[in-house]
Chains A and B, each alone.
Chain A
Amino acid sequence: GAGVSQSPSNKVTEKGKDVELRCDPISGHTALYWYRQRLGQGLEFLIYFQGNSAPDKSGLPSDRFSAERTGESVSTLTIQRTQQEDSAVYLCASSLGWQPQHFGDGTRLSIL
C-alpha cells in the first residue's frame, strides 16, 4: 500500500490475555520501528528492525514484550499477560535506512 498499515486499529482485552499487533511497512522500506504513546504523552521508542534483525531490544518495557519481522515485510509486536499499564496507542513507522520515518495510524490498546 501507499502508507504504513497497522491492525487492528482498536483492541480491547482483559488483563492477563496476550495480544498481537501487526504492522505492514511501506514497500521497499528496510527499517521498521515500534513506538508507544500513553494518553497525553509523547512517543516512547520500543524497538527497530533493520531487515529482520533487531540490533537493540533494550527499549522494550519488560520481558512480556517481544517483536519479530519477516524479512523486510510485516512485523508483529506481541504483549503477553497484559497489564493495565500496557494501555496505550502503539505506533509503527518505517523508513529507507536513516531517511524520514513514516508512521501508521496506530493500534489503540485498552486493557480492562
Chain B
Amino acid sequence: GIQVEQSPPDLILQEGANSTLRCNFSDSVNNLQWFHQNPWGQLINLFYIPSGTKQNGRLSATTVATERYSLLYISSSQTTDSGVYFCAVVRRAGGGADGLTFGKGTHLIIQP
C-alpha cells in the first residue's frame, strides 16, 4: 500500500512562531487532506489539497503532486494550535472513493 511519512514527529514552539510541517507520500494520489486533532480528540479538516496551494487565515498548504510531498504552514502560532497534525491520502487507483491512509502525525506544542 501507499506510504505516508510526516516530519518532524514532534515540534515545540513559542507563541508567535512560524512552522512548516511536511508530508511525503510514495505514490500518486487523488485525495490529500490535512487534519488537526485537538486535545479532545476531534479531527478537524484543515485542507483538501491533492495539488496546488491553498490558504485559510494563518494556515496555508502546498502539494507538489509530481514530487509527492505536501507542506503545511502555520504562521503566528497560538496556543490553540497545539495538537496533532495528520496528513492523509488516497492512492490514485480506480478514481472512486476509498479509505484514507494516514501518516503518524506531527505533535505540535505551542508554549505561551
A residues apposed to B, CB below 8 Å: 30-31, 33, 35, 41-48, 50, 56, 59, 89, 91, 93, 95, 97-103, 105-106, 108
Given contacts A100-B33, A100-B45, contact A45 B99 (CB under 8 A): yes
Residue of B45, B97, B99 near A102 (CB, 8 A) is B45
With CB as the reference atom, state the residue of chain B lying closest to A50. Answer: B97
Instruction: Compute how far the CA of A95 lies from the CA of B62 in the bound complex, rounded to whole angstroms.
Output: 22
Which B residues touch A101, using CB under 8 A?
31, 33, 100
Give 17 A-B contacts (CB < 8 Å), ordered by A residue: A30-B97, A35-B100, A42-B86, A42-B102, A48-B98, A50-B96, A50-B97, A95-B97, A98-B31, A98-B90, A98-B96, A99-B48, A101-B31, A101-B100, A105-B42, A106-B41, A108-B41
A interface, over-half SS: strand
Number of A-B residue pairs having CB atoms within 8 Å of each other in the complex: 61
Which B residues touch A106, using CB under 8 A?
41, 43
With CB as the reference atom, state the residue of chain B lying closest to A29. Answer: B97
